[in-house]
Amino acid sequence: MTKEMNLKINHDCQAVSNGGAASDADTVSSSRVSSLLASKDRDFLLSPTGNQVKVCDLEGKIIGLYFSANWYPPCWNFNQVLVGIYEQLKSSGSNFEIVYVSSDEDADAFNIYHGCMPWLAIPFSDLDTKKALNRRFDIEGIPSLVILHPNDNKDEATLRDGAELIYRYGVEAFPFTKQRLEELQDEERARHENQTLTNLLTNHDRDNLWGHPTPEQVPVAALVGKTIGLYFSAHWCRPCVNFTPRLISIYQKIKEQMLVDGDQDGEDFEIVFVSSDRDQASFDSYFVTMPWLALPFGDPNIKQLVKHFDVKGIPCLVILGPDGKTVTKQGRNLINLYQENAYPFTEAKLELLEKKMDEEAKSLPRSVYHGGHRHELNLVSEGNGGGPFICCDCDEQGSGWAYQCLECGYEVHPKCVTLTVAANSNR
């Protein structure tokens, strides 16, 4: 952008918002908006209907730069959420605007996708500006929402995790300032500290859960004092369908072990299905395969629980202790690592299991050839090149010890290795 063009846009913006009287802050704001969103031969953005809107009309507003694309399903999912938030904020008269920064593959895809949005966009043809914005804000994945505040000199001038904040707090995140986010975090902390099984699972219309045969009702009060797993899952989710039989097996083994340990009815542990199914029929056909309890399909507590526990993906197993407080949100991973031995999922139990795993690892070969992979695999832990991973054999999460291919990154749980030939154990 030339100096003359930049000055012209700044002058126009000042005339629109201040009747020609411009403050230093306005000049900074306008210069920033123009330098980011305009180009040397374009001083406008596009509305969803194709109309041109001057860049200077965004002066003084809180702006969300929305990096997204038609071809990526998670973007469509987030787009629906963001549209609802945007319309709520606009109806309340807020000074919030969104600008779509497209990664679409062609103009038709851009037009279709932008047509589903109520906000402005960088023209599809302006590849240079879109590339510059991606570089400027170091965009590594989509959907991404970067929040720009009108005052460059404050800590909250740029906030890069807008998408996560929208998912987590919704409309309450506005105006996305440091102070507001600290308030929300304090409120969230208080909710978790005051969390009980009753206020998580009941509402003014319902104090029961569904059992079997449906619609048998089990009072939530009957679960107080027990270890509870909240199982966020859905019939349409392939990883969920794969994990559910494993969880059923572990659930039954935990119950059996309780009987051996003297819990006469094996009732100190229970799971509650928190469904993300799309219709009642899907919920019914999925829940009938499970031996535990469930929140009714479409219950309002479901959305509250997803938000409260910040569930970003399913399947997810959140463990609550007998006091109703959160023990861990990593129940699925712990089940995969330790099976029924993970119960009751406390830090003390996990420390014992980790020590046991470390001891067992001493007897494992340092490298192996696995039946499902052509390269040599090396034994690694989180402390020597390993870390959280998805097992390439069972497709489930893992951490701690793993066999890893240094050539291509292939990783498997030690328990999943089908040993064909042991490599040099001293390597």
What are the pLDDT digits (tens) for 213-265?
877 899 999 999 999 999 999 999 999 999 999 999 999 999 998 888 776 55
Sequence-distant (≥ 6) Cβ neighbours of residue 40 within 8 angstroms: 1, 2, 5
Architecture in CATH for domain 361-422? 2-Layer Sandwich (3.30)
Alpha carbon distance 237, 217 (integer Å) = 26
Q: Where are the chain's structural domains?
A: 3-186, 197-350, 361-422
Average pLDDT over residues 331-336: 90
Comparing 83-97, 228-242, 337-351, 398-412, which segment has the lowest mean pLDDT? 398-412
First to last CA, the chain: 59
Beta strand segments in 37-168, E: 44-46, 52-54, 62-68, 96-102, 120-121, 144-148, 158-159
According to CATH, the superfamily of the domain at 3-186 is Glutaredoxin (3.40.30.10)
Is the pLDDT confidence value at 424 over 70? Answer: no
pLDDT of residue 387: 66
Cβ atoms of 402 and 412 closer than 8 Å: yes
Is the pLDDT confidence value at 13 over 60? Answer: no
Helix (H) / strand (E) containing 243: helix 238-260
What are the pLDDT digits (tens) for 125-166?
999 999 999 999 999 899 999 999 886 544 445 788 899 899
Task: Determine the CATH number of domain 197-350.
Answer: 3.40.30.10
How many other CB atoms are there within 10 angstroms of residue 372's CB atom?
13
Domains 3-186 and 197-350 share a fold: yes
Is the pLDDT confidence value at 329 over 90? Answer: yes
Which pTM does this prediction carry?
A: 0.64
Of residues 261 and 211, more confidence is placed in 211
